[in-house]
Amino acid sequence: MKYYKITGITAALALMAGAIGCNNSSTKSTDGADSSTSIDTNTAQKMDAITVSPIADSKEFPGADLQIASISSEKVGTDSAKVSVKYAIKNFKLTEMTDDAHATHMANSHDGQHIHFILDNKPYTALYKPEHSVTVALNSEHYLLSFLSRSYHESIKTTEASKLVKFKIDATGKLTTDAMPKEPSLFYSRPKGEYKGDETKNLLLDFYLVNTKLAPDGNKVVADINGQTFTLDKWGPYEIKGLPLGDTKVKLTLVDKEGNAITGDNVSVERDIKLIEK
């Protein structure tokens, strides 16, 4: 298996046209570090026809804030509990369309901006109202990551715009929350599901980090796409191009500076997606 690495080396000749007029974007990660991704300072990784490239600046949402107003549970049936979550949001509007260029060439939700509700690192549910309920088993433990998302599904990568909760459900259906996890964590967001027609040309690769940052001499994310491996050393949105029609497998793994897989509950995630001609 061959490895291709995104670096900070300037790729002026390859990206000159896209670099003109682009500014660097900077966000505060969930561990408090600044994370920047700009298309004019990073080379695309390429293997065969598939490429993975950092995308240009997205619309920012200064002060966007997501809080969990309440999380509760009740026993339903003999072996399950219904968990209900309500959110409080500031400086961000659900169902509003995100007004920037990426909305025109990536899969874009017709219902607008939303919350990504990710339970146990499974495929997210898009929430267009600030509340959601889900059924889980009794005597179970769970991780719930919630974050604000642009209409084309790119996450807002700030501490204030996301919340991670670890909770338990006991035999009676009672919910208790644990302390905030301190281990490095990687949560998968996009790509997801099926893509049709023009949506198959540009796919958003987006993930969420907690308690870690990426760096050329630090932790990284390895993206395995149909057996082709790309190493990402900056946290930001990426664009996948050149995928064939049909089934695609995407696996994201958090690794240390030596390239060894980090151990933990949320450090490696795999998804199957499908690209359809029409």
Q: Which pLDDT score, from 0 to 100, does residue 44 have?
A: 65
Q: What is the pLDDT of residues 138-158, one digit of tens each?
A: 999 999 999 999 999 999 999
User: What is the spatial distance between Cα 84 and Cα 72, in angstroms, rounded to a whole number?
Assistant: 5
Smallest CA-to-CA distance from 169 within 137, 215, 127, 206 is with 137
Residue 14 has what pLDDT?
37
User: Which residues of the chain does CATH 2.60.40.10 include?
Assistant: 3-59+182-276
Residues 6+ apart with CB under 8 A from 21: none
Spatial strand order of the sheet with 268-276 comes to: 3-5, 228-232, 220-225, 246-255, 268-276, 194-196
CB 179 within 8 A of CB 168: no
Q: What is the pTM for the complete model shown?
A: 0.84
Residue 177 has pLDDT above 90, yes or no: yes
pLDDT of 193 above 80: yes
Q: Which residues pair with 124 in a beta bridge?
A: none
CATH assignment of 3-59+182-276? Answer: 2.60.40.10
> What is the sign, positive or negative, of the torsion defined by CA atoms of 207, 192, 61, 236?
positive
CATH number of this structure's domain 65-177, picked from the four choices 2.40.50, 1.10.60, 1.10.10, 2.60.40: 2.60.40
pLDDT, tens digit, 9 for 90 and up, residues 42-83? 456 665 689 999 997 789 999 999 999 999 999 999 999 999
